[in-house]
Structure 1
Amino acid sequence: MRSFPRSERIALTTLFFTFGFFVMALAPRFPDLKANLDVTYGTFGTLVGFGTFGAFLSLMTMGHFIHKIGTFPVLFSSVAAMIVCLLVISNTHSPVVFFVANFIFGMSWSSYHISVNTQTMHRQKEFGTNVIPFLHGMWTLGAVLSALVATLIANDVSLAWHMNTMGAIVGLIMLVTILKIKALCIPARDVRDEDGAIGFLEMIKSFRIDWILSGAYLSVLMVEITVGDWSTLFTRDILEQEKGVAIVPYLVFMTAMIIGRLGYHRVMKGRDEVAVVRSFIVTGGFFFTALVGLSALLSTVNSTLAFFALLAAFFAGGLGSSFLGPYLFSFAAKRSPRPDSVALAELSATNTALTFVTKLLLAWVAQVAGLAFALLIPGLAFFLVAF
């Protein structure tokens, strides 16, 4: 068996790391973005949510295009579109312009996600080396470092300068890296469904929804959605923390997710997976819900104590949900009689659609009942999936 070439491994590592850094840069700056648009919580959440609908359309169709033209054109054009859309999103004050740009941004990052994973899965099969877990870890590392950078510069650097500079530099690195591996990209004739690029007709013809599995995975996504979309706004608007500090809860959540996922296999050795995952979900859900509630109660009494309660809540939520994601993806492949790539593609498409609906619901819950109540909902969802 041939070994995975070092230069190609470095290139793929770069593509995953920069993708995480790029695509997650905007979430910590949501308060600035909302201020730019001058809209309510409900309207803002709706505008952001439609990016997920764009991602869903891409998941349903992009495999078809990869089958027709190969991975290189999709990789390159997706990054180019992401750069343009990010610049528009971070500089516009028009909700209509934001809506269109965010919708295309959702399609482009989803297209990139599909094509870079297709490229990786195809190549790792050729070399018999499983590099996907490592590369997904690099994506998470990129996302966390992006949040850390936002924390350090939020008070002194405007949203536009932050995104314009980051988008240009990181986007250029991605484009140059893609050009360097152009000769290694999969041509259309060699693309297979098992590489992760599921053709449109195959997806439509055989599409099935596993409601139990999707419902369980949605519980994980609800925590990530809520923290990603609303944590900085809650910390900034309700707890009245400064811009840089408002990003810290999001950073704590992502760090807890990394700790949990890095320790997943070590914790599972010799143990019943279901029992371990359930204990993490119940414990994480209990502390997440209780501490978010405590933070909301303390917000009018002592904002500092309320802030630390929120940090503890997000650490518990991140650690509690970290085990469920990997377990469910593994379980999805075992549960379905079809190839792993088809089962996982269906799970991803179903949950992206459910994520879109959930984002809209949470947005208007935040608008009508308040941010604190919206943050409590994912914690309650933990208990539903556990039992």
Structure 2
Amino acid sequence: MSSTIKGRNFAVSGMFFMLGLCFGSLSSRMATIKGELSLSDGVFGSVLFAMSAGVVLSLPVSGWVIAKLGSKLVGVAAITLNAILLLLLPFASSVYQLAILLFMSGFSYSAVNVSNNTQASLSEAISGKTELPFFHGIWGLAGFVGAGLGALMVGQGISLSVHFGVITAVTLVSALTCWQFLHDRPGLEQSGRAFAIPDRSLFNYGLIVFCSMACEGIMYDWSVVYFQDVVSPDRKFVGVGFMVFMGAMTAGRLLLNRFVDRFGIKRTLQWSGMLTSIGMLVTIMHPSLVSSIIGFCLVGLGICTVIPLVAGAAAKSSSMAPSSAIASVLTIGFLGTLVGPPLIGFLSEAVGLRYAFIVCLVLAIGIIYRAGEIPEQSWGRK
């Protein structure tokens, strides 16, 4: 029995790893794709919005389909499609073809994401322990591997088609292997309604994820610019803040499962908001190299647990099927990634980038406040 559980957890980890590997590989070659089609910054930004639109529009659809067909089937089919789309991207010969492929890539990404979180919630239900942060840590680790391989491919002058061909082959073989071991529990996955308006509890979870993902989006898009323009270190240290932030997020997700089991998810989320707040205050009040590195590390450690913990809580909803509940929460959350980064740009024009980052402080306080609205008894673990 124990070996069976380990095999299923290994397969779930494999699905998270493949999703992160494809994501990191694509992100690492965006500049190459832009250059090969000779796209301006404005046009390329519009093309990237097509990918974001695919991610957001897919979420409610994915939740409904998974509730009907199961996360095992949808997850493996979607990661297969995502890998094939990666293989096709180097052959896009126009901005329209690229936009369509990226939209479909975002759409399939969300389907895998919801499927993976549903699978991980099944692992939690069986073990009675917190598992989701660890699985999300595997995604982050895979993203590092994908980005590192991408940098190596760029340095060696390896073409997009060869690079993405290797990643696609690895993903397809891995998906076939994982298929044999993934959870297949239709009775648990199809309980509750496949589609419904989120109740008050789910909406509150969604607001928590909105604050978290808006902050994450700001860090992804603006942290390097913040270091360059505000911290102003030696050129070789410009990217170190983002690396520390990502490293802290990954390490936190891999290591904090037992903390959550001991102190409960509600208290963990409140501490997450506090760490993020402190990290932002440190770097805003004293934006030197050392203090900003410490601040970005605290932000990464603070924000890392929010999405996996809330996804796990949503999967326990009594009003919706697990996949649909996860999708509804993530739909609200992903709106934060669309709002946060542009807001920083507007505020930076008015008050400067340093003080525009106060938005992250406000979002962190929002996490603390909304976590306080969660009933204690629904989150505590014994």
- Compute the TM-score of the two structures, normalised by the length of structure 1: 0.71
What's the counterpart of residue 186 of structure 2? 191
2:39 alignment partner, one of 28, 37, 40? 37
2:332 alignment partner, one of 347, 350, 353? 350
Establish whether residue 288 from structure 1 lines up as the match of residue 280 from structure 2: yes
Aligned-pair CA distance for 1:39 = 1.3
Establish whether residue 250 from structure 1 lines up as the match of residue 242 from structure 2: yes
Q: What letter corresponds to residue 260 of structure 1 in structure 2?
A: G
What's the counterpart of residue 144 of structure 2? 144
Where in structure 2 are the equivalents of 1:96-135 lying within 5 Å? 96-118=96-118, 134-135=134-135
Q: What letter corresponds to residue 313 of structure 1 in structure 2?
A: G
Contact kept in structure 2, 1:59 and 1:110, CA below 8 Å: yes
Give distance in 2, aligned partners of 1:26 and 1:50.
15
3-state DSSP class of the match of 2:4? coil
Kindly tell me the number of residue pairs found equivalent between the two proteins: 364
Give distance in 2, aligned partners of 1:361 and 1:93.
33
Contact kept in structure 2, 1:235 and 1:246, CA below 8 Å: yes
What's the counterpart of residue 81 of structure 2? 81
Where in structure 2 are the equivalents of 1:226-241 lying within 5 Å? 226-232=218-224
Contact kept in structure 1, 2:344 and 2:356, CA below 8 Å: yes
Give distance in 2, aligned partners of 1:93 and 1:362.
33
Establish whether residue 178 from structure 1 lines up as the match of residue 175 from structure 2: yes
What's the counterpart of residue 155 of structure 2? 156
Q: What letter corresponds to residue 205 of structure 1 in structure 2?
A: A
Establish whether residue 168 from structure 1 lines up as the match of residue 159 from structure 2: no
Q: What letter corresponds to residue 56 of structure 2 in structure 1?
A: F
Give distance in 2, aligned partners of 1:128 and 1:327.
14
Q: What letter corresponds to residue 177 of structure 1 in structure 2?
A: S
Where in structure 2 are the equivalents of 1:48-87 lying within 5 Å? 48-66=48-66, 74-86=74-86
Aligned-pair CA distance for 1:287 = 3.0
1:8–1:55 CA distance, 2 compared to 1 (3 A): same
User: Identity across aligned pairs (percent)?
Assistant: 21
Comparing 356-365 and 133-142, the one that deviates more? 356-365
Give distance in 1, aligned partners of 2:353 and 2:33.
17
Contact kept in structure 2, 1:293 and 1:376, CA below 8 Å: no
1:30–1:208 CA distance, 2 compared to 1 (3 A): farther
3-state DSSP class of the match of 2:155? coil
Give distance in 2, aligned partners of 1:324 and 1:15.
20
1:237–1:165 CA distance, 2 compared to 1 (3 A): farther
1:55–1:223 CA distance, 2 compared to 1 (3 A): same
1:333–1:119 CA distance, 2 compared to 1 (3 A): closer
Contact kept in structure 2, 1:49 and 1:356, CA below 8 Å: no
2:299 alignment partner, one of 298, 313, 317? 317
3-state DSSP class of the match of 1:174? helix
Q: What letter corresponds to residue 250 of structure 1 in structure 2?
A: F
Establish whether residue 13 from structure 1 lines up as the match of residue 13 from structure 2: yes
Structure 1: where are the runs of 5+ without partners?
296-304
Write the deviation string for residues 20-58 of structure 1: whole angstroms up to 9, x where unpaired. 122133446666666763215xx7555434423312222
Give distance in 1, aligned partners of 2:48 and 2:349.
14
What's the counterpart of residue 338 of structure 1? 319
1:165–1:211 CA distance, 2 compared to 1 (3 A): same
Comparing 169-178 and 372-381, the one that deviates more? 372-381
Q: What letter corresponds to residue 322 of structure 1 in structure 2?
A: C
Q: What letter corresponds to residue 315 of structure 1 in structure 2?
A: C
Give distance in 1, aligned partners of 2:104 and 2:226.
27
3-state DSSP class of the match of 1:205? coil
Q: What letter corresponds to residue 24 of structure 1 in structure 2?
A: G
RMSD (Å) for aligned C-alpha atoms: 4.4
Aligned-pair CA distance for 1:8 = 5.1
- Compute the TM-score of the two structures, normalised by the length of structure 2: 0.72
Write the deviation string for residues 121-146 of structure 1: whole angstroms up to 9, x where unpaired. 56887899986554333222212333
Q: What letter corresponds to residue 221 of structure 2 in structure 1?
A: D
